[in-house]
């Protein structure tokens, strides 16, 4: 009985807390919807430094103490020599090329383009023709207009004369491949999914269900093809024909886009909606090399300064409070569960 009493008291406190919290969050959400916090910011990570740290960590464990100290001594000596040489030949010494690494993880709406556009703008303020931009791309495709915009963002890099490489570690299909084919070079992991140069559209129709239950549905349009197919109305053969015509037109534009950027592809052979794994995609000229992004980045370590660039958006006040409230609620429940588990059952 004591357990049930404690549980009831805990439940009452929790419900009161949650209700009060929802009221606060609702108010803040209303405020946050009117005005978001200031824009996010760009974060730049020097990957060369990260790799050096990792190398030192491994050496500190793998090498014996004497060998590790000797390695550190030689590394410091080499660094001082490089700094002295750079200072002596400061005017003549050319800068190392830079490799900028961006990530694009696309959903059906290509929502990540909002971050990608800021990252590209930031990099283009400094990038030189001898530099390179690597985009680690992952997407199974989505809306045509959304991925068209994402591809246009990558085209900004090509327009500036900056070499662009796309790495496909897992999947770049349909709209994802539309983006990838912008690149000067496409790399893919052996089992990455590539291709799907096709167009798909599907929707349910509830007209017969509504008719069965005597529910009328009206839709009025101005223009013969303002709406071709509908979810609730009765679809016509004419509407279906026009809908299919629009799909074919979109597919043709997609094929022309791929052909323009990758003329080496036999477009009629591959534009069937099929996908290929990386090694097979190479045979179809859909990609240029079988390689993972990690392998490529590490191979550039000695000859390039490598920077990872990310745009980080600020959360609204309501989002921040929501995260804090969720953590607080988890902590309260966790404490109660711990306390309850310590009670004797009888």
Residues annotated as catalytic are: 174, 226
| Residues sharing a CB contact under 8 Å with residue 197, sequence separation 6 or more, in sequence order | 174, 177, 254, 255, 258, 267, 270, 271, 272, 273
Burial of 103 (0-12, 13-18, 19+ CB in 10 A): middle
Q: Which two tokens stand for residue 209?
A: 């269900």
Q: Tokens 């001898």 label which residue? A: 130
Query: Buried b vs exposed e over 208-247: b needs ≥16 C-beta within 10 Å?
Result: eeeeeeeeeeeeeeeeeeeebbbeebebeeebeebbeeee
The secondary element (H helix, E strand) that includes residue 321 is: helix 317-341
Q: Which two tokens stand for residue 337?
A: 């569960």
Plot region of 285 (φ>0 → left; ψ -120 to 50 → alpha; else → beta): left
CA torsion sign for 74, 78, 81, 83 is negative
- At 183, is the secondary structure helix, strand, or coil? coil
Q: State how far the alpha carbon of 241 is from the alpha carbons of 152, 184, 285, in Å.
A: 31, 38, 34
What are the two backbone dihedrals, phi and then psi, of residue 183, each rounded to the nearest 5 degrees?
-65, 155
What are the two backbone dihedrals, phi and then psi, of residue 81, each rounded to the nearest 5 degrees?
-65, -40
């Amino acid at each position: 009985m004591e357990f049930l009493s404690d549980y009831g008291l805990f439940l009452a406190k929790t419900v009161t807390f949650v209700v009060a919290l929802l009221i606060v969050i609702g108010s803040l959400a209303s405020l946050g919807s009117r005005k978001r916090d200031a824009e996010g910011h760009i974060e730049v990570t020097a990957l060369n430094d990260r790799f050096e740290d990792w190398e030192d960590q491994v050496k500190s464990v793998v090498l014996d103490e004497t060998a590790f100290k000797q390695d550190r001594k030689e590394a410091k000596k080499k660094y001082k020599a490089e700094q002295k040489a750079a200072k002596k030949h400061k005017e003549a010494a050319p800068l190392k090329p830079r490799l900028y690494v961006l990530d694009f993880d696309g959903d059906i709406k290509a929502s990540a383009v909002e971050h990608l556009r800021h990252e590209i703008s930031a990099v283009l303020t400094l990038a030189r023709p001898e530099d390179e931009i690597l985009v680690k791309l992952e997407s199974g495709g989505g809306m045509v207009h959304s991925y068209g915009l994402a591809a246009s963002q990558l085209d900004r890099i090509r327009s500036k004369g900056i070499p662009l490489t796309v790495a496909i570690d897992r999947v770049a299909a349909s709209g994802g491949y539309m983006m990838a084919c912008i690149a000067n070079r496409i790399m893919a992991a052996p089992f990455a999914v590539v291709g799907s140069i096709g167009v798909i559209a599907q929707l349910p129709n509830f007209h017969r269900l509504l008719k069965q239950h005597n529910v009328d549905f009206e839709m009025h349009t101005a223009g013969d093809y303002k709406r071709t197919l509908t979810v609730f109305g009765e679809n016509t053969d004419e509407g279906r024909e026009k809908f299919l015509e629009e799909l074919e037109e979109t597919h043709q534009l997609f094929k022309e886009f791929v052909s323009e950027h990758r003329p080496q592809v036999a477009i009629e052979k591959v534009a069937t909606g099929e996908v290929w794994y990386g090694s097979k995609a190479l045979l179809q000229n859909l990609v240029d090399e079988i390689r993972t992004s990690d392998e490529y980045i590490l191979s550039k370590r000695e000859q390039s300064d490598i920077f990872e660039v990310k745009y980080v958006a600020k959360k609204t006040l309501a989002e921040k409070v929501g995260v804090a409230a969720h953590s607080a609620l988890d902590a309260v429940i966790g404490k109660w569960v711990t306390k309850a588990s310590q009670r004797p059952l009888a």
